[in-house]
Amino acid sequence: MQVDYTSAEIASLVGALRTSGTTTRKIQDIASLSSARAGDLSFLGNVKYKSQVPESAATVLLLPADYAGEPKPDQVYLFVENPSVALARLCARIEQSLWPKPPPGIHPSAVIAASAKINPTAHIGPLCVVEAGAQIGAGSVLQASVFLGSEARIGDGCWIMPGCVIGSLCSLANRVRLQPGVVIGSDGFGYEFIKGRHEKVPQIGTVVIGDDVEIGANSALDRARFSRTVVGEGTKIDNLVQIAHNVVIGKHCIVCGLVAIAGSATLEDYVIIGGQAGVGGHITLGKGSKVGGQTGINYTLEPGSYVIGTPAVSYMLERRLQVLHQRLPDLFKRVAVLEKK
């Protein structure tokens, strides 16, 4: 990072409630409490690290309003409502200066079909391909080497990173952010076994992505067999995730890295799925349910469930089963003792 802020500038950017201490140093980097050095900004994001604050060498610290303590010489405490949110606000400002939105226009190396409808405020970077009938909304950015298939639609304010492929007829709403290498609209994995061969079932549906969805690097979302594979508004999907055909994901869900969701599964709103978990086909995860990392779940979950393990059971039961499982050597011995009586 190449930042250069005075402590007063930072106090203003984060909306500090109160300031304590003074420094003439400028802030040039951000670091954790324990690794920060002079010239760094740090923050208390989690009370369990409270004891590290007095020892931190950071020049500026973002602290909760009720933190009791005073800065060292040449150090500034900025008291804020929520240090994590304050930091995010500062980082958003830094992000804008690091990566300002590229100007409108189409790079001459991009290959654009005559019938594509591209808003004049959109940015189409080098070596993108936009096929016939595709649409791109106001202020959207296709960074470089992005493929947009025929009749696909991208709304306003989207940011599509290099190497993404958005298949024909698929659609992204507004402010969707795709990390590099995301594939939207690959064929669903469907075959009929006929006379010793797996005959392809054509996959003629689409993928529909809602507002404010973010999808991680190299994730793949298959188009529906027919009708639509859906990702609801505000849902965030991590890297290397597989979303099979006809999956319907609700609003504001979290899907962590390397999760696989099989065909026609439904996630209701606010579902959270831990990394490397697998969700079976044709089941529903009820609203707000949570699935632990590496869990294998193949039955429908009631809203608010919290399951873990393969096969998945309730979090509390699994914790108990794990303890007992590790006591099996003892149990076998106890039974042997009883048998000798």
Contact positions with a copy of itself (CB under 8 A) in 41-80: none
* Residue 20 neighbours by CB distance under 10 Å: 16
Which residues within the stretch 190-249 sit at the binding site for a copy of itself (CB under 8 A)?
191-192, 194, 196-206, 212, 214, 216-220, 222, 225-227, 234, 236, 238-240, 242, 244
Q: Is 252 among the catalytic positions?
A: no
> Which range binds a copy of itself by CB under 8 A, 15-23, 56-64, 184-192, 299-307?
184-192
Q: In what order do the strands lie in the sheet with 242-243?
A: 111-112, 129-130, 147-148, 165-166, 183-186, 220-222, 242-243, 260-261, 278-279, 296-297
Judged by CB under 8 A, does residue 34 bind a copy of itself?
Answer: no
Which residues within the stretch 83-122 sit at the binding site for a copy of itself (CB under 8 A)?
84-85, 87-88, 91-92, 94-95, 98-99, 107, 109, 111
Tokens 């108990």 sit at which residue?
320
Of 68 and 336, the one with the shorter C-beta distance to a copy of itself is: 336
Token code pair at residue 4: 């250069």
Residues 6+ apart with CB under 8 A from 149: 131, 134, 165, 166, 167, 168, 169, 170, 185
Out of 19, 28, 119, 294, point to the residue binding a copy of itself (CB under 8 A): 294
Exactly one of 107, 123, 198, 245 is catalytic; which is it? 245
For residues 198-221, one letter each, b for 16 or more C-beta atoms within 10 angstroms of the residue's C-beta and e for the rest, the string is eeeeebebbbbbbbbbbbbbebbb
Distance CA 242, CA 294 (A): 14
> Which range binds a copy of itself by CB under 8 A, 14-22, 54-62, 114-122, 137-145?
137-145
**Beta-strand relationship, 313-314 and 306-308:** antiparallel
Out of 20, 119, 168, 300, point to the residue binding a copy of itself (CB under 8 A): 168
> Which range binds a copy of itself by CB under 8 A, 4-12, 15-23, 54-62, 176-184?
176-184
Tokens 């294998």 sit at which residue?
296
Out of 32, 119, 121, 300, point to the residue binding a copy of itself (CB under 8 A): 32
Residues forming the active site: 245
